Amino acid sequence: MRMPNFKVILVEPEYELNLGYAARVLKNFGEKEMHIIAPKAKVGRTAIKYAKHARDLLENARIYCSLEEATGDCDFIVGTSGVLIRSKETLRSPLTIRQFIHHVKGKSGRFAILMGREGTGLSTEELKKCDFVITIPASEDYPILNLTHALAIILYELSSLKVLKRKKALIPIAAKREKEELQYLFGEIIDLVSADMRNPSKVKLAFKRLMGRSIISDVEAAALLGAFSRIRNKLKNEK
């Protein structure tokens, strides 16, 4: 049975100093790899100086050209944001880090944790691709944390799940492909009954949002896939 694990990804980091400190924080919490998308800063003397004993992580960091490449081996994408933004364009409501942990504890799977740019954070388009968006509660007067401070807090909170792994059997989660198939089948069902609906596209979006923030087991996914398939076939036969 797979264990839940987290892949921390820095998105276009801008400063050498933060590269060094980020490597150090990652190693502090037992991370063995460093993942970076299109870094704006180079791994130079300053980064190495502040990485201290995490120089190996820094010098062997995996560099990616795109978000898709970096998250291709992950079941879920988790964005981070210092500002709570609720928009019709995004597919989920922000969670605090502890609310997120409550959702994922006892589950299996691989989660990409995206740490945004120092200046602008993650873009709206990047947040749209996330299954979860998490935030760290801070003062309303100045809610934006430094990149590495936020990283340290997130990794500290996630470390509580390591204790849970030792104590409790984990539930295998549905694969990303299964969740996409559920969305596809649901969409077909809605298309078949759309003549009787006021806003079918809104219903599809609501289901997509539900899938985006849900962690369902492989058994639950199989049951839903079977049910959706039968409903779709029955509706087609009645046409």
Q: What is the pLDDT of residues 16-49, one digit of tens each?
A: 999 999 999 999 999 999 999 999 999 999 999 9
- Three-state DSSP class for residue 55: helix
Q: Determine the Cα–Cα distance for residues 51 and 18; give it in Å rounded to an integer.
A: 9
CA distances from 44 to 55, 62, 64, 233 (A): 11, 16, 18, 60
Q: Determine the Cα–Cα distance for residues 60 and 62; give it in Å rounded to an integer.
A: 6
Residue type, 3: M
Q: Determine the Cα–Cα distance for residues 134 and 123; give it in Å rounded to an integer.
A: 14
Residue 212's pLDDT band, with cuts at 50, 70 and 90, is confident
Q: What is the pLDDT of residues 163-174, one digit of tens each?
A: 545 545 556 778
Question: Percent of the chain, pLDDT > 90?
Answer: 51
> If you average pLDDT over every residue of the chain, what do you get?
87
pLDDT at 167: 47
CATH topology of domain 5-167: Alpha/beta knot (3.40.1280)
pLDDT at 170: 58
Average pLDDT over residues 129-140: 89
Q: How much is the pTM? A: 0.71
Residue 141's pLDDT band, with cuts at 50, 70 and 90, is confident
